[in-house]
Structure 1
Amino acid sequence: MSKITANKVLICLVCGWVYSEAEGDPNSGIAPGTPWDAIPQNWVCPECGVGKNDFTVIEI
């Protein structure tokens, strides 16, 4: 996967939820500052429940 930069986000293709490395996903135990590649493969979108494979990098 591409390196995450300040002008890119990871977005769920199913529901549109956005993962920000700076914010992490504290409700799921993912600390702020956690890189996308360090998130466990069994992690799921907190909004719709799909896996990491259903996320894509979007340049904004």
Structure 2
Amino acid sequence: MANNYKKYMCVVCGFVYNEEEGLPDEGIAPGTRWKDIPNEWECPDCAANKADFELIEEI
């Protein structure tokens, strides 16, 4: 976990954005931090707003 990548989950549909993996099909390169994704971005599964995602706390 040298880079401390985080995961964020859509509270509407459960889709998970993983910073380490990115979303290459959506034009978001692997390693893209959540803060660097535009605020206009929408969940690829349900079109929820970026604000509808919450950090997944890993134990």
TM-score range, shorter chain: 0.7 to 0.9
Deviation at 1:22, TM superposition (A): 0.5
Gaps of 5+ in 1: none
Alignment partner of 2:47 out of 29, 46, 49: 49
Task: Name the residue aligned to 1:10.
Answer: 8
Q: Match of 1:59, SS?
A: coil
Task: Name the residue aligned to 1:58.
Answer: 56
Alignment partner of 1:23 out of 17, 21, 35: 21
1:33 has 2:39 as partner: no
Moved over 4 A (4+): none
In 2, the alpha carbon distance for the partners of 1:27 and 1:35 equals 16
Point out which structure has higher relative CO (alpha carbons under 8 A, 6+ apart). 1
RMSD: 1.2
In 2, the alpha carbon distance for the partners of 1:56 and 1:35 equals 14
Q: Which has the larger radius of gyration?
A: 2
Which TM-score applies when normalising by structure 1?
A: 0.82
